[in-house]
Structure formats: structure tokens, C-alpha cells
A and B are shown apart, each in its own frame.
Chain A
Amino acid sequence: MILETKGLGKSFGRFAANADIDFSVAQGELRAVIGPNGAGKTTFFNMLSGTTEATSGTIFFKGNDVTKLSGTRRVHIGIAKAFQTANIYPEQTVRQNCRLAALAHKQGAFALEIVRRSERLADVDTLAERAIEQLELTNVADVRSGDLAHGDKKRLDIAIALATQPEILLLDEPVAGMSRDEARKTEALVRKLASSMTVLIIEHDMDLIMGISDSITVLESGRVLANGTPAEIRANQRVQDAYLGGHSEAEMGA
């Protein structure tokens, strides 16, 4: 189990966004996290990435307790996140965006290099190029990222996370807002990524999820509702009730 949580919860005052989440994912899995709106998926991811501090429970990464670790430190141990709304450096080119992430990986959280330039670090360019290729952004590599189309921006966000050489990649709705074709293309890229690392995805697109996931976790009202393979989840009545108010399995995109 590369990542595990026990009793993980997040409360805002009296409102519990997440509660009692026992979660585990094995190395190399592609796990989808789904659930109706307000189920607490993004808050859960934010706790995993360190963006939000958990109010209860523990998170284990490769057996170590990382619950109190800051988001910045988590990137360095191998947990990277791509945002729901593409979070990039709009003034810089795609290549520069990825280089920054690679630089962070290479130099660590802080380096007082006040004279030498980052160009001397050859690996940085290599890592950045690899991320660009893996997300098929080569033809826009020198475009100012603020000028990119929405879909490209989302893929850039993933490339940035990738350039930090993570062991676990958290993707929060990676194809949201993309056209059908773009979503298919991105889906294929994500599946390829999953062959070399563990990937967690939050998604609403049922076809996508059923097609690429190894396993699925369903959240509802902040808690885990069910875990299982795509087939198992599709057949799960409680999941159907939660999502669709008891509609037939055919409507779930079998």
C-alpha cells in the first residue's frame, strides 16, 4: 500500500466535509474517486496533497505518517497534484512552466543560488521535455501559457505536476471542460502515465472512469460509500441510489 488513510476527516466548524475515511491504494493502481456533488472529493484530495490540514485521522505514505507534513514537503516526497482549475504561470511559456517544476524537484525547497543560473542544470531541461512529451504539448511548448486553449492548460497543469517526478499523481477532474475528443486523448495519456506511477483521479465522466480505472472509491456526504472494481461499483445498488436516486444500471454507462 503506497498511500493509506485511517479515520481521515475535515471539519469546518460544525460542518464535516469529510469523516472517517479509511482509504488505501496500492502502488501502480489507477484509482478513481467518484461521488455526487458535495461528497467531499476535492477536500479529500486537498488533505492528501497537503493543501488542507486534516482535523482528524492519519495519512500514511509508504508506511510513514505524513499527516503533519506541509504541502511543499509532500511534493518532495513524491505526492503531486494537478488542480481542478488549471493553475499555471500564465506569463511564462509551457516549457518554462515545466522547467520550474523540474527545477523545484532538482534543487529542493530552497537554494541560495544567488549568482549561478539554472541553465547549468542539464537534468532540469530533460525532465521538463519529458513531461511536455508525455502530455503531448510539444507543439505548443514555446507558447505563452496564458494564451493556451482551456484543454491545453489543463494538460499543462498535469505536466507541471509530472515534472516533479512524483510517485503518486492526484488529478482533480483532469478532463473537466474539455471537448469529447480532447477528453479521450487526455484519458489515453493518463492511462499511459498510470503504467509507471500511482494515479488517483476525481472524475464525473462515467465512461472515462469505467474505461481506465483499476478500481473505484465512492464518496458520499464526506464518507466512503463503497470500494471496488468498475464492475462491482456498477452493480452496487447503494451507489446507484446515491448518484441517481435508484435508476437502472444501464443508465450508468455499462
Chain B
Amino acid sequence: MRVALLTLIGLALFPFFFHAIDGYAGLATQIVIVSIASIGFNFLLGYTGLLSYGHAMFYGSGGYVAALMLIRVMPQHPNLWLAVIGGTLAATALALLVGALAVRLYGIYFALLTLAFAQMIFFVVEQSQDWTNGDDGLQNFPTALLPVGPYTIDLGTPLPALALGPFGNLSDIKLWYVFAAVALLGVILGMRALTRSQFGEVLTAIRENEERSSLIGFNAAAYRLAAFAISGALTGLSGALRALYDGTVAVDAVGIDRSGSFVIYTIVGGVQTLFGPVIGTGLIMYLEAVLSAQISYWRLIEGVIFVAVIIFLPAGIVGTLTRKAAERARQRRALLAESLRARTGGPT
């Protein structure tokens, strides 16, 4: 419950923070959408222990398939639900295919195989002019509409106008943000349930000691494949939403830089934490947007932050804060117990 409330409040306040620093309202939506992919990536790295260097293949395929569905399958009745579901399913299918081959490999070989597949898909996408329009990518596709009961909503519609002083106006925010925020909330709550579920419990055991897990009867490869598919699905969902929001999707969505970005967001935010990927995505994407306008070497700063986090804060920002908080709580409890004993004259 606390998690849901916290997330809700955070998401509600989030876009206004941007207006205070001179209006990057669209960025807020993008951050929320990409966070879903980061959570997916973190599920694989943090809870399963697998480093994938090709996650952009899921992000990109989700985006391209969603866009293609709008362009080729339903240009007259662009249905957002179907486009998103289509993109997510495509990414999941890809994850199952690649995963079936990759999960039997360890460490560096797994990372390299995912990289290999991602690169293959990158070059295929780049070359398939007819389908993907090569380097230019797909643009100007019909705006997806969201049928909800008797209504059809255009997510580009802004919220009703309501002046909010220094934080601008409520109408600065489009319905897209609300939609994306609800999606992120769902993903966060779902991920929380997943990690505490029976499936998550076994996954943690496999990550902690795979040999023992196999020899008490857990099929480690099957679990890794399932985790890979879930991870790919979330990343594909994110890619589909992003493509539909941006109204455009290009090869950089399947590129090696995109794969690298998920790694950076997650590590900086905190691997193995629930909110880490979200915070990391927000922080880095924000810096990218703000700094890139002012400094030409912002990617260098990004790299330095990344390396600094790995060396000094290996648990990431959220992970380190969580650890510090837990430490302080433990100390407080110990002190409390100590003072109670002193007062009641009990055994020390």
C-alpha cells in the first residue's frame, strides 16, 4: 500500500517539477515510459543476474511493430490498445526465441549473444527499406486513439486548464502523461508482487546458488527463460508506448547506444531495487535533456557518473540510500533496546 501511495504521489507531482525549470513537459512522459523498460531490464540483471547487452532489440521491436500496425494494419481505425499489445507481444516472442538459445550460456557469453542478436536486428532493420524506411525510420503515422467504453480518447488532449501559480497550468499536461503514469504504476506494483511471489523466490535462490538449486530440483534454464521473456515484454511495452507517444521510431531504438542506456539508467539508480531504475532513468534522461542543450560533452559526464557509481556506490543511488536507512533503523532499535534495559534494570 505504501508503495502504491508513494508512487502515486511521486507521479502526480513529477511533471510540475519540470515546469519549474522551464518546461520540459514532454520529457516527463518520456521518462515515465522509458522507466518501464528500465524496470524490465533491472528484473533481468538484478533479480536473475543476467546482463543483457541487447535489450534495445525488444525496445525497438516493440516500437516498430506498434508503428507498423498503425501504418499497415489499421490506418483507418488506429487503435492504441491493439498497437501496444501487438508491440509487446512481438517483443515477448523475440525474447522467447533469443532466450531459448541464450539462457544456457553464462556471463560474458550471454552478454555477447544478446549483443549479437541485437546487432543482427539492428542491421536488418537498417537495411529493410521497404518495411522500416531504413535510417530515417517511420514517421507521421496516424495518431493512435484509445477506445474506452463509448468514448474514443485522443491522448494528445491536454488536461482541463487550471492555473497553478509558479508551476504553470494543469493544461500543460496531456492525457498521455496520465496514461503512461498509470501504466508505470501498474508495472511497479506488478514487479513488487512478482519479486515476492513463489516464482521470484525461486529466481532469487537460483541467483544465489545455481548449483544447489539445480540439485534440489529447480530447472534453472526454464526460470531464466521465463525471466528473460518477462523482461523483454516490459521493454517491448515501453518501446511501443514511446513510439506511439513520439509519433516516430528510428533505428536508434534498436541500436547499441540504446542498449547501453538501459544499463546506465539501472546501475545508477540501483540494481535490485524497485525504484532504482525509475530514479536512474529520470536522473540521467533529465541530465541528458538539460545538459545536452548547454554543454557539448554531457555524455562524458554521464560516463563519469556511471563509472563513479560502479566504483563508489555499487548499490546505486536508491540502493545506497536504502542501505543507509536500514542501517540507521537498526542502530536506533539497538539504542532503544539498550535504554529500555537500563531503565528496567534488566540483564545487559
Contact = CB atoms under 8 A, between A and B. Distances in A.
Interface of A: 49, 51, 71-72, 75-76, 80-81, 87-92, 100-101, 103-105, 107-118, 121, 160-161, 163-164
A116 B197 contact: yes
B345 interface: no
A85 to B, nearest CB: 11
Interface stretch (B96-104, B143-151, B217-225): B217-225
Contacts of A49: 215
Given A100-B205, A110-B222, A87 B211 contact: yes
A103 B208 CA distance: 16
A80 B212 CA distance: 11
Given A87-B209, A89-B205, A113 B215 contact: no
Interface string B69-105: 0000000000000000000000000000000000000
A51 B215 contact: yes
Given A89-B208, A89-B209, A100-B205, A111 B216 contact: no
A108 to B, nearest CB: 8
Contacts of B219: 72, 109-110
B212 A104 contact: no
Contacts of A89: 205, 208-209, 212
Contacts, number: 93
A116 B198 contact: yes
Tell me if B's interface is mostly helix, strand, loop or mixed: helix
Contacts of A90: 208-209
B4 interface: no
Contact of B197 (A76, A88, A113, A164): A113
9 contacts: A49-B215, A76-B217, A80-B216, A100-B216, A110-B222, A110-B226, A115-B194, A115-B197, A164-B217
Interface centre among B193, B198, B205, by most chain A C-beta atoms within 10 angstroms, is: B198
A118 B222 CA distance: 18
Contact of B198 (A75, A91, A113): A113
Contacts of B202: 100, 103-104, 111
A117 B196 contact: yes
A114 B236 CA distance: 19
Residue among A71, A107, A114 with max Cβ neighbours from chain B (10 Å) = A114
B216 A75 contact: yes
B214 interface: yes
Given A117-B196, A117-B198, A101 B216 contact: yes
B217 A115 contact: no
B199 interface: yes
Nearest to A113: B198
Contact of A114 (B194, B208, B213, B216): B194
A72 B218 contact: yes
B194, B202, B213: most-surrounded residue (chain A CB, <10 A): B202
Residue of A88, A100, A117 ringed by the most chain B CB atoms within 10 A: A100
Given A110-B226, A112-B199, 14 more contacts: A72-B217, A72-B218, A72-B219, A87-B209, A87-B211, A88-B212, A89-B209, A89-B212, A90-B208, A100-B216, A110-B222, A114-B194, A117-B196, A118-B198
